Amino acid sequence: MARVLVLNGPNLDRLGRRRPELYGRTTLAEIESRLKQLGRQLNLEVELRQSNHEGELVAWIHEACERFDALLINAAAYTHTSIAIMDALEMFPGPVVEVHLSNIFAREPFRHRSFVSPVATGVVCGFGPLGYELALRAVAARLGLDGSGDG
């Protein structure tokens, strides 16, 4: 069974309460439950973690290089500021999918720049919590676990 680490950055622990008109009312716990269920269907072991601290996210990416086959990351505000996260992701040997709940390109101009995108396999943004599920399906396809043979 392939292993996928899902990392969530700052303030995502406040989902469901923080700006629900923009981010929705779904909590991070609900996203985790849905992803674990979908992971079982796709033959993926899914582990989710969240931190408000850049260094902790970097350490988890380093750990992922040795223990996980794929990585989903919503770096939140660090998407637009963290060269350290970009450098760590660049070392990850498997597929990396950047996920955002909102369409960052339809928001403030400073959000249009992503330090994650240049080292990501793909980007999913603007679909709310469904984006995580789309990203997980994309990872399964990339790993050849969806029966498509496109691994």
What are the Cα distances from residue 41, in Å, to 7, 80, 95, 96, 137? 20, 33, 19, 20, 10
Q: Could you tell me if 29 and 95 are in contact, meaning their C-beta atoms sit under 8 angstroms apart?
A: no
Tokens of 5: 């680490």
DSSP 17: T
Tokens 């450098």 correspond to what residue?
A: 87
Question: Which residue do the tokens 């992503």 mark?
Answer: 114
Backbone angles phi, psi at 91, to 5 degrees: -85, -15
Any catalytic annotation for residue 23?
A: yes
Catalytic residue among 78, 100, 112, 132: 100
Catalytic residues: 23, 100
